[in-house]
Structure 1
């Protein structure tokens, strides 16, 4: 039986943000210091914005404006955004008619859009305290979101 792989992924809150190589290296070093038991710490830079979700654990999507379930309209909004390689994440929430964006939706567990991902594989940690992310965010020069992915 194959043992599942878990990834703790840190993604800039600005989906288009890509750090310089030296910033990415410094952030990877900071993550490795924070999570010494991780099997591997690496990073990826993409040419376009990607959706990074929780993998097998994906459960719910909620509108940040009204709190209603967004599953009914989210797939078509994702399809439209994907047609333009996620360059424009703006969307009108069908549940309440408000203006928001796909990255602002509340994904359970967390998911995010980005051109850069810092990844710790099989880190064996629970929840990270916000203050634990400070050195990583300082190295990257931006705030990050944490996505836990199981594959």
Structure 2
């Protein structure tokens, strides 16, 4: 009887492991191969969810366009809801994003971020200084 009990336990354990592995493979979606021109891959219209220290949460649309032939720089229109005519430059280094210090319409902006492996989500953390206070902001762009 002990031998049958041990065999059942081993079979149950193997079934649990097999189900876990199946779940892992089903849940993992393959990343997009890294593109030759990441800026073109990121170009288009995105939905932004924004939270910050100073303002209530908000959602709005931004537009991303490639701004270099190397594919290592993009411009985001309507960044921080500054309007479609205002653009913020973002540098791309692999999956890492850098917002160099720049002043747009009186707001000094800088920060960092990343893009996921499928190039369908961008996460940014940055500061905005309007000369009276500094606001720390988190954005999630999705499409």
**TM-score scaled by length of structure 2:** 0.27
Instruction: Compare relative contact order (CA 8 Å, sep 6+) and give the higher one, 1 or 2.
Output: 1
Compare CA radii of gyration and give the structure with the larger one.
2
